[in-house]
Homo-oligomer: A and B are copies of this chain.
């Protein structure tokens, strides 16, 4: 079954298929009588226009794509990553579009998936993580005039790249503020080696920390290596100020948090420190060492990205080129 076409509906209704098309597309140049008749027939036969044919005629796919970074296995393995998808998905379907999800495999043959999707015009717009926006992909998008939005702050030195990210500076601030509220004064931040230089979001979180500590006239203490923590409890601490015991440690990423947690075993003194990090996860309340979290609304991030993309696709004027999403302390 299911092969019912616009022509058959037209025949059944005794009209031309152009008329049926007008009904489908809500064209107003049509008598109420005809419209009703055609609609009745369509309903009766459960007629639904073939989206492929429509796409061909409109030169549109009514589909939005999301391309994840396959090389970054962690991203795909990260459960929270998917909250973003969920947010996107909701907006996309509210706009009566479909949602094509892919990861950027290099295909054995010829092109990467990303390239294929752009070049074949399988979608009308694309959302990609900032890690995927390199020179090559940027050029591809521009050349093919494909609307897109980047999740995570854009790192490519190009102007006008639309992106959506959480406000990492603000996140660093409220987390630090929260620890201060809790009574901590000696608050350290673990930046993990060169990570802060590589990843701007880490640098931003640190900036928020710095700012808040400054506001409260508290000393900034940045840890580069977990090993440093050991000496903090020695008889001769690194800090010239002497015996100031650290009370809290902010980890900029979950990986860093894990590193500290692993490190903790050989270092029981660490267990006296309040641990804190960004982005809660389901099992956090059952952890051996309690951890303070910032709540990051990744679903909102997905939604904002999708909204921005539709604005771009519709060529709406005055679309902001970037959106930062505020975070809050989890309850």
Residues of A within 8 A of B (CB): 1-2, 46, 48-53, 55-56, 61, 63, 76, 79-80, 82, 85-86, 89-90, 93-94, 96, 98-103, 105, 107-108, 111, 113, 116-117, 119-122, 143-145, 258, 261, 281-284, 286-289
Contacts and interface: CB of A to CB of B under 8 A. Distances in A.
Classify the interface of chain A: helix, strand, loop or mixed: mixed
A144 B49 CA distance: 14
B89 A102 contact: yes
Nearest to A143: B1
A48 B288 contact: no
A302 to B, nearest CB: 12
Nearest to A284: B283
A169 to B, nearest CB: 27
Nearest to A144: B2
B89 A121 contact: no
Given A93-B105, A102-B98, A144-B1, A48 B79 contact: no
Nearest to A118: B2
Contact of A51 (B90, B111, B122, B288): B122
A234 B130 CA distance: 58
A273 to B, nearest CB: 15
Contacts of A1: 143-145
A117 B98 contact: yes
Given A283-B284, A283-B287, A143 B89 contact: no
Contacts of A48: 111, 116, 119-120
A103 B119 contact: no
Contact of A287 (B86, B103, B287): B287
B100 A100 contact: yes
B98 A98 contact: no
A101 B93 CA distance: 11
Contacts of A145: 1-2
Contacts of A101: 85, 89, 99-101
A266 to B, nearest CB: 15
A98 B113 CA distance: 9
Contact of A86 (B76, B89, B284): B76
Contacts of A79: 79-80, 82, 282
24 contacts: A2-B119, A2-B121, A2-B143, A46-B119, A50-B120, A52-B55, A53-B56, A63-B100, A79-B80, A79-B82, A85-B101, A89-B103, A93-B102, A93-B105, A93-B113, A94-B108, A98-B117, A99-B100, A99-B101, A283-B284, A286-B287, A286-B288, A286-B289, A287-B287
B51 A120 contact: yes
A101 B82 CA distance: 12
Contacts of A284: 283
A27 B102 CA distance: 29
Question: Most B CB atoms within 10 A — which of A86, A101, A117?
Answer: A101
A121 B49 CA distance: 10
Contacts of A49: 120
